[in-house]
Amino acid sequence: MATTPAFEAAALLASPVRRSLLAALRRREDENPAEPGMTAAELAPGMHLHVTTVRFHLDRLVAAGVLRTEFQPQPTAGRPRKVYSVAEESGARDARPLRRLAALLADVVAASTRGEAVTPVEAGRRWARE
């Protein structure tokens, strides 16, 4: 069964490291809209991870369409900087719908552990009433 890009992105964001990287990029975007994005080397110290590990996670998020990259030339000699930023079309900026769905499914699982037979539709109705 083939996975959709949205499903792949959601699966990748199950990782706390990747969620933290995404949050750091969003903060940077909010704080400095004129210069959004960061390199793996800029992100690594805040994540307490090696730059290679950070780059691995970032590149997986790029492949899923959650992030995008841009190469910026250096003012001096050297390779261009690879800057990661949040992909606007990814839908990754607003996780509220995903959180709602997760809460509904958690209600179904919690009810089933108590011996209640709650369907996802019934969980949705309960959520709407609350």
pLDDT tens by residue, the chain, 130 residues: 455 566 667 777 788 899 999 999 999 988 888 888 999 999 999 999 999 999 999 999 998 888 999 998 888 888 899 999 998 754 545 566 666 677 777 777 777 778 877 777 777 777 777 6
pTM: 0.63
Which contacts of 29-32 are long-range, i.e. CB under 8 A and separated by 24 or more positions? Answer: 29/85, 29/86
